[in-house]
Structure 1
Amino acid sequence: MTELEFTVLDVVAEPYSAAPNLVAKLRIEETSGEPVHALVLRAQVRIDAHRRPYGPAEEQGLLDLFGPRNRWADTLKPFLWMHATAVVPGFSGSTDVDLVLPCTYDFDVAGAKYLHALRNGSVPLELLFSGTVFARGETGFSVTQIPWDREARHEMPVAVWRELMDLYFPGSGWVRLDRDTLDALSRYKSTRGLTTWEAALGQLLAEAEEAAR
């Protein structure tokens, strides 16, 4: 019976895809000596938010996710970032494979909001693996499942995430609005002769600050 062990060697930004992707460089080792004919791999990628410290600027950016710092003992927990899949060709011993991690800069998504709040250091990742192993048996192919306890951890530098966002959204970010709000903002922009959404939001913020004084 095949026995698989997983190691994350690195996580890098993919500069040449249509949408922003990180790539986890995985090493898969088969430790029983059995050859693997093919492998359908699934990974649940989690962020272990409690495994790193946070500075004052990061604390402000994490307020929506975890509340004020005095509540973090209860709220600062690991959370799901994404699911990823890969089809791995046959191998014996060990093989290296790229696991594509599709990313978004939508701040309504917890993972993007969390990563945007970080200034330096690393992102503590945990990958939980499952999937199907196809191997050659005495009477043909055997099919087994990857045990649910297969996992790997990796400290991804925050700089890798920022590099990816700078490649695909240089100097910018995304905010999702419902259609009624977008229509109202469009009318505000047009009636004041503003040429960009950023200019409209900037003027609204300036008016709000002036009214608050």
Structure 2
Amino acid sequence: MTEFSFACTGVRADRYAAGPTLVFRLRITATGDTPVHALALRCQLRIEPARRGYDSTEAGSLTDLFGERARWGTTLHPVQFAQVPLMVSSFTGETEADLVVPCTYDMDIAATRYLDALTDGEVPLLMLFSGTAFTGPAGFRVEPVPWDREAVYRMPVGVWREMVEQHFPGCGWIRLPRDTMDALLAYRSRHALPSWQATVEALLAQTPEPPPPLDPLRALTATTGRSDP
């Protein structure tokens, strides 16, 4: 049976994709001289948060995912990033292929919130591979690619930020329920506002600032005219 091994040699943001997309470069090695006619792979990418450190700013931004830093020993679990198929054409011995991974900037997705919280450094990824190989010198035979094939890779945070800036320059993203969107659209139409940004800013301008909390000692002083307890 042919043994396969995988390694990731790099990643880039696809600037020509219609949506946010990362392209990982894979090196695939097959033992022996038996031709591999094709590989049908299932590729799963996981973020392993425990394999890097975090400064105080990053830790604060990750509180909603993992809780307070004191609890991270039990809460810093892997985060699912993507699961994509890959077809690899024929080769013998070794080949390279691009793994195209569509991404999202939906902040309700745990992986997106994690990546958005990072300011610098690298993202520790675990890449898991399984699937079917079609091999053989004459004709072909079908072999499984076992589920324990994997590769580790540390993706630069800058690549993720470059990808986001290509599609959402200087912007964030938020998902709202349909009825809330309908209400916002009606408000925008009633006030003839030119954009969603103007709509949100108009609503924020109408929201009164909450009064400062009352200082009990100051209130007592104002009532009695005395400053001593």
TM-score (norm 1): 0.92
Gaps of 5+ in 1: none
Q: Aligned partners of 1:155 and 1:209: how far apart in 2? A: 46
Aligned residue in 2 for 1:171: 170
| Structure 2 SS opposite 1:160 | helix
Worse-superposed segment, 31-40 or 110-119: 31-40
Q: Aligned partners of 1:128 and 1:149: how far apart in 2? A: 7
Instruction: For 1:189-204, list aligned pairs within 5 A.
Output: 189-191=188-190, 194-204=193-203
Aligned residue in 1 for 2:218: none
Shift of 1:209: 7.0
Residues 151-183 of structure 1 show CA distances to partners (whole Å, capped at 9, x for unaligned) of: 000000000000001111111121110011112
Are the aligned partners of 2:58 and 2:119 in contact in 1 as well (CA < 8 Å)? Answer: yes
Q: Which amino acid in structure 2 is aligned with residue 54 of structure 1?
A: Y
| Structure 1 SS opposite 2:140 | strand
Q: Aligned partners of 1:74 and 1:183: how far apart in 2? A: 41
In percent, how many aligned pairs have the same letter?
50
Instruction: For 1:1-213, list aligned pairs within 5 A.
Output: 1-136=1-136, 140-191=139-190, 194-205=193-204, 210-211=209-210, 213=212
| Structure 2 SS opposite 1:144 | strand
Shift of 1:16: 0.8
Q: Aligned partners of 1:101 and 1:209: how far apart in 2? A: 44
- C-alpha change, 1:169 and 1:132, in structure 2 (3 Å) is same
Q: Aligned partners of 1:86 and 1:155: how far apart in 2? A: 21
Residues 92-119 of structure 1 show CA distances to partners (whole Å, capped at 9, x for unaligned) of: 1100000001101111111111111110
| Structure 2 SS opposite 1:114 | helix
Shift of 1:66: 1.3
Residues 109-168 of structure 1 show CA distances to partners (whole Å, capped at 9, x for unaligned) of: 111111111100000000000010001266x32101111111000000000000001111
| Structure 2 SS opposite 1:161 | helix
Are the aligned partners of 2:127 and 2:152 in contact in 1 as well (CA < 8 Å)? Answer: yes
Worse-superposed segment, 193-202 or 100-109: 193-202
Gaps of 5+ in 2: 213-229
Are the aligned partners of 2:107 and 2:173 in contact in 1 as well (CA < 8 Å)? Answer: yes
- C-alpha change, 1:203 and 1:67, in structure 2 (3 Å) is farther
RMSD, matched Cα = 1.8
Higher share of residues assigned strand: 1
Q: Aligned partners of 1:209 and 1:93: how far apart in 2? A: 68
Shift of 1:192: 5.1
The number of equivalent residue pairs is: 212
- C-alpha change, 1:47 and 1:15, in structure 2 (3 Å) is same
| Structure 2 SS opposite 1:146 | strand
- C-alpha change, 1:188 and 1:72, in structure 2 (3 Å) is farther
